[in-house]
Structures are given as structure tokens and as C-alpha cells.
Amino acid sequence: MLNTLKDFFTLEMIYHFTNIGVIPLWILLAFLPSWGGTKVLINSILVPLILGLTYFYVFYIYINTSDGIFSNILDKGKTFELYKGIDQLKKILSDKNVLLLFWIHFLTANLILGAWIATDAAKNKALQFIVLVPLVLTYFVGPIGLG
């Protein structure tokens, strides 16, 4: 069944949907962190579930349609190529499937960090305009926003 979806859900489509899909959540975190709808979306399993299923789908299609780097994971006796050095990382990320997997991972981790920042700021009654700085930094450059 998943193989029949690959003609409809292209990598480009998934890339655009995941990018556009997280933007409303970041806007809610930045400007309406105490609103009930924000709390429901951020604290529910729905968003991580959607991103997780998307990640699973891209990974499934990749391992079933190519002889890529991740196929080594499934071969006994072979090492996971990612840890062999930065040149190997560059080689791995040159594959669009793997790059999209890493991007979805990055978006998900950043969104979790953003939710944590907004929730913690609300709990500690931080001024919202001050919280915007780490939220924007986290959105664009990840964990640097925690600094």
C-alpha cells in the first residue's frame, strides 16, 4: 500500500507540506502560547504523530526503492556509515531521501524545543516579547535558541 502512495506523495510535496505545516504552530507558540488551541495542538500527540508517520513513510520508501546508505543497517556485519566521518555524512546527505529524513527530524526536534520554551516561559510568567527571541532563534538555527 505504501508503495502505491509514492507516486502521489513525492519528496518535493512532502518537503513543502512539512515546511508549511509547522509554520502555523510556530506562529501560535510565538504569539498565542496561552491560548487553549495552542496548548491542545502543542501538547497533543497529533503533530508528532503526523511528523513521525511522514518520517516513517519516507524511510520506508527509501529502503524499499534504493540501494542506499541505510540499506547497510539491514545487512549484518556492516557498520552504520554515518559515523565514519564528515565526508561520509556529506555522501549520505547527497541523497534526497536521506536529506528529507534529516530535515523532518530537524523540524520535529526544533518544534519540540519551541514548545518547551513557550511552555516554560508561560509557567514562569516571562514577558512574551522576550520569549520571541529564543523562539525565533530555535526556529531558524535549532538549539542555539536555548542559549
What is the per-residue pLDDT across 67-112, written as a single tens digit (0 to 9) for each? 555 555 555 444 566 677 888 878 878 888 889 999 999 999 999 9
Distance between CA 61 and CA 90 in Å, rounded?
21
How much of the chain exceeds pLDDT 90, in percent? 37
Radius of gyration over alpha carbons of the chain, in Å?
Answer: 18
Q: Supply the pTM of this predicted model.
A: 0.80
What cell does 118 get? 513557550
Instruction: Give residue limits of the domains in the chain.
Output: 2-146
